[in-house]
Amino acid sequence: MLEKNILTATNFEEIASWYEQASSQLGFPEKPQELYEAVNHIMQMKGKRIRPVLLLMGCDAFGGNIETALAPAYGVEVFHNFTLVHDDIMDQADKRRGLPTVHQKYGINKAILAGDVMMMFAYRFISEVPTEILKPVLSTFNRTATEVMEGQQMDMNFETRQDVSVEEYMKMIEYKTSVLLAASLQIGTIIAQASKTDQELMYEFGLKLGLAFQIKDDYLDAYGDERVGKVKGGDIIQNKKTFLAITARNTANEQQKTLLDQLQQEKDTNRKVSETLALFNVLNVPEKTHAFMEKLYQEALDALQKTSMKEEKKAGLQHMAHLIYHREY
Amino acid sequence: MLEKNILTATNFEEIASWYEQASSQLGFPEKPQELYEAVNHIMQMKGKRIRPVLLLMGCDAFGGNIETALAPAYGVEVFHNFTLVHDDIMDQADKRRGLPTVHQKYGINKAILAGDVMMMFAYRFISEVPTEILKPVLSTFNRTATEVMEGQQMDMNFETRQDVSVEEYMKMIEYKTSVLLAASLQIGTIIAQASKTDQELMYEFGLKLGLAFQIKDDYLDAYGDERVGKVKGGDIIQNKKTFLAITARNTANEQQKTLLDQLQQEKDTNRKVSETLALFNVLNVPEKTHAFMEKLYQEALDALQKTSMKEEKKAGLQHMAHLIYHREY
């Protein structure tokens, strides 16, 4: 059933390619050149445009005019890129999409300022909607933007903690990643003037899809094929609190907990990864993780099914969800 | 005439004290505690509240209800404090109002994130206005916020340039400082539903007042009494491109320019300050600066006079302008 939908749904590709074309007319001022060249450096890295395309598809699905949604779609992309610029400073990351990060190329001061001005342009583009829907669009975006910052803070807090619970972890990834996917879809539906129920279902669809996506990301890091630019088991090597690591700790007996602690100190990274994975297997971590992410993915699709949009539009969004969730990169 | 107004105008003190009380009910969430304690650290430093009080006075002057303007007033204060948090990182400043800066106390990462979330709360508070005026309020604020960032970039650019013109300098201080004072007043008048002409006059009043204030700041640094926490001639010691330094360079002949260049390299700071000031005096820099800032201050008061507000309200704002312009701290 799903496979059939994928074969017939061209909606996603059409919208993505329309966005690529149309958004090229939007952008930033030329002066002060020193500021906007730093902004353009990240904006010109071709990302996957997931968030703006979700916003446009959410609008299109309920009969909205995607032209009306173009500026807000670009706005969420600008916002997402702002978070990348500032996160890269905090993570001291040198590279992004194979290119130097903004602070690496232009220095920390310019990267802070470029991020700041991007956030303002995000608000500006997102506010370019008809007056009668400005308030709900803005309040959805504003709540979401705040949550993304709070999620980043939670993630920073986890670095120095051993006792992170699954609930705390889920709240962190919800805020740091999922709410922006959910809000993008919801803003699209608000622009299309869909019903409150449809708005909430679309938010739910995006939220669950984002959670499934993030947990799959954790899963692939440990069990996936090696991906471009990623080290297999990189999260294990860095002692990151992933869904897998937290689940392992929650299931482990005292002896196994001690072993997990010892493995965190292991200097030989090959041994560290293979022995941690062996312990994960004993604890049924892959099965548990797989079941959990599949459940979230199904809940996302269920929410989509409950909306009042036409079947062909559901197929398009299901296709998009499939691409996001089943990516191997 | 001005003195009489000051004696009768209690409007400013009343509004400032009402704001102090009323705004204490607004604020930030409690969690994540690590994020909002950094925010509260700067918000609790008692500043002069110039911007929120101007916003409220702008509203009150045209018969608006200052209760309606409370959240936006707090919003501009939050925004101003966000700029201080990020500017302090860029300037590597350790202290602000006698206390450690946010990045000094909590680290750069938390200061970046605290500033980011403050900007979002600024938008949130500023958006708490009746729907029918949300669009003009937001677009005034958004344009202004972008200009403040651009002004900061211009200021950074000037550090490595010798050939800054008066026009460029004026544009920089207009963006970095004045537009936010002007926009605060204008947002107040929009909330009061004043006429477009009155809105523009109030913006002009704030803009010129801000420029006069900033040039006076340059002037006092060289010619004022020593002020708390400031070194007399600090701008000269740091070779800052102030209105005075730019005017001196523009007026100097080749020989005097060479002398100015040599003084920039002078290691003995007492000698550097006294000889630079002596040259400024020869070039009539203090007279020129004084005349220029007085002209701006008069233009500010002229704009205020042209508005349609009642005379007693003009007196209150004139009093506020007097306090801002004639401060000696």
Report ipTM (2 d.p.). Answer: 0.91
CA B5 to chain centre: 24
Contact at CB, A32 and B150, closer than 8 angstroms: yes
pLDDT at residue B188, as a whole number: 98
pLDDT at residue B5, as a whole number: 37
Locate the domains of chain A by residue range. 2-325
pLDDT average, residue stretch A7-15: 68
In 3-state terms, what secondary structure has residue A271? Answer: helix
Residue among A34, A116, A149 whose CB faces B157 most closely: A34
Domain B2-325 of CATH type 1.20.950.20: no
pLDDT average, residue stretch A124-147: 97
DSSP E strands: which ranges in chain B? 95-96, 99-100
pLDDT average, residue stretch A229-241: 84
CB contact at 8 A, A76 and A179: no
Structure tokens, A41: 């450096």
pLDDT average, residue stretch A82-105: 95
pLDDT at residue A187, as a whole number: 98
Tell me the nearest-neighbour CA distance from B3 into chain A, angstroms: 42
pTM: 0.92
Tell me the nearest-neighbour CA distance from A262 into chain B, angstroms: 29
Ramachandran angles phi, psi of B99, nearest 5°:
-115, 160
∠ CA A297-A301-A306, rounded to 5°: 150
Q: Which residues of A touch B (CB under 8 A)?
A: 31-32, 34-35, 86, 89-90, 108-110, 112-113, 115-117, 119-121, 123-124, 127, 131, 134-135, 138-139, 142, 145-146, 149-150, 152-154, 156-157
Element (H, E) at B17: helix B11-22
Q: Which residues of B touch A (CB under 8 A)?
A: 31-32, 34-35, 86, 89-90, 108-110, 112-113, 115-117, 119-121, 123-124, 127, 131, 134-135, 138-139, 142, 145-146, 149-150, 152-154, 156-157
Residues of A in contact with B34 (CB under 8 A): 153, 156-157
Structure tokens, B175: 């963006």
Q: Read off the DSSP letter of residue A96.
A: E
pLDDT at residue B13, as a whole number: 85
Contact at CB, B150 and A117, closer than 8 angstroms: yes
Distance CA B194, CA B188 (A): 9
Return the residue of B nearest to A140 by Cα: B124
A141 has a pLDDT exceeding 80: yes
Instruction: Name which of A69-78, A219-228, B18-27, B59-68 the model is least confident about.
Output: A219-228
pLDDT at residue B12, as a whole number: 82
pLDDT at residue B194, as a whole number: 98
Q: In chain B, which stretches have pLDDT less than 50?
A: 1-9, 329
Return the residue of A nearest to B113 by Cα: A149
pLDDT average, residue stretch A269-280: 95
Distance CA B123, CA B141 (A): 8
Residues of B in contact with A138 (CB under 8 A): 123, 127, 134, 138
Distance CA B143, CA A121 (A): 9
Instruction: Name which of A42-46, A202-206, B122-126, B265-269 the model is least confident about.
Output: A42-46
CA proximity to A219, closest of A296, A299, A302:
A296
Cβ atoms within 10 A of the Cβ of A229, count?
A: 10
Residues of A in contact with B90 (CB under 8 A): 109, 112-113
Mean pLDDT over the full length of chain A: 92
pLDDT in tens, A304-317: 999 999 999 999 99
CA A284 to chain centre: 27
A93 has a pLDDT exceeding 60: yes
Strands B95-96 and A95-96, by their bridges, are unpaired
pLDDT in tens, B144-187: 999 999 999 999 999 888 889 999 999 999 999 999 999 999 99
Structure tokens, A135: 């308030």
pLDDT band with cut points at 50, 70 and 90 for residue A11: confident
